[in-house]
Amino acid sequence: MNHFCNQKILPAAGSIKDFEKLMKTDFEYIILLNSHIAQLQSLMQLAHRHKKKVLLHADLVQGLKGDEYGAEFLCQVIKPAGIISTRTPVVSMAKKRSLIAVQRIFLLDTHALNTSYRLLSSFQPDYIEVLPGVIPHIIKEVAEQIQIPILAGGLIRTKKEAEDALNAGAVAITTSTKELWKCI
């Protein structure tokens, strides 16, 4: 399957300045992490002018309640290419509205891993983002347990860590580490 036009790095803009810099790159898909609700429409217009597809991290939009109503606003008014969230109702709304739906899961311990398996068995997002992404043996296990494409993110700082996550089964790496934006 061709995920994100075979883009292996999904650069994550942690600031408006980084977002603006990404407009001048060859990346088609980018992630917007921190934003304010009042900035979103102009940021999406900027992205569309540069032919960028934005995956918006809904949990990090200041001024937006992280529920299905906030998600519906994002889907209907802001219209990103996709939504990333730790909240299942938000991801469900994105999927219902035909946006790319990314469920973010934090694998802190075995309990969190098992809880994620239960959640994902009842809900099928388009992708899951596994954090931290520096544990390739767990990425491999998750890939074998569930049939949902995996994005690896969090604490990936080197080219080797990125390659290890990809080799373990991740389809792409999400990273705000600018040095990695150039190397894969």
Q: What is the pLDDT of residue 70?
A: 97
134 in Cβ contact with 163 (< 8 Å)? no
Q: What is the pLDDT of residue 183?
A: 76
Distance, in Å, from the CA atom of 94 to the CA atom of 81, rounded to the nearest integer, reads 9
Concatenating the DSSP letter of every residue in 123-155 gives ---SEEEEESTT-HHHHHHHHHH--S-EEEESS
- Residue 132, preceding peptide bond in cis (omega within 30° of 0): yes
Instruction: Encode the chain (184 residues) as per-residue pLDDT tens digits.
Output: 789 999 999 999 999 999 999 999 999 999 999 999 999 999 999 999 999 999 999 999 999 999 999 999 999 999 999 999 999 999 999 999 999 999 999 999 999 999 999 988 888 999 999 999 999 999 999 999 999 999 999 999 999 999 999 999 999 999 999 999 987 7
In CATH, what is the architecture of 4-182? Alpha-Beta Barrel (3.20)
Distance, in Å, from the CA atom of 90 to the CA atom of 85, rounded to the nearest integer, reads 7
Q: What is the pLDDT of residue 182?
A: 87
Three-state SS annotation for 20-68: HHHCCCCCCEEEECCEEHHHHHHHHHHHHHCCCEEEEEHHHEECCCCCH
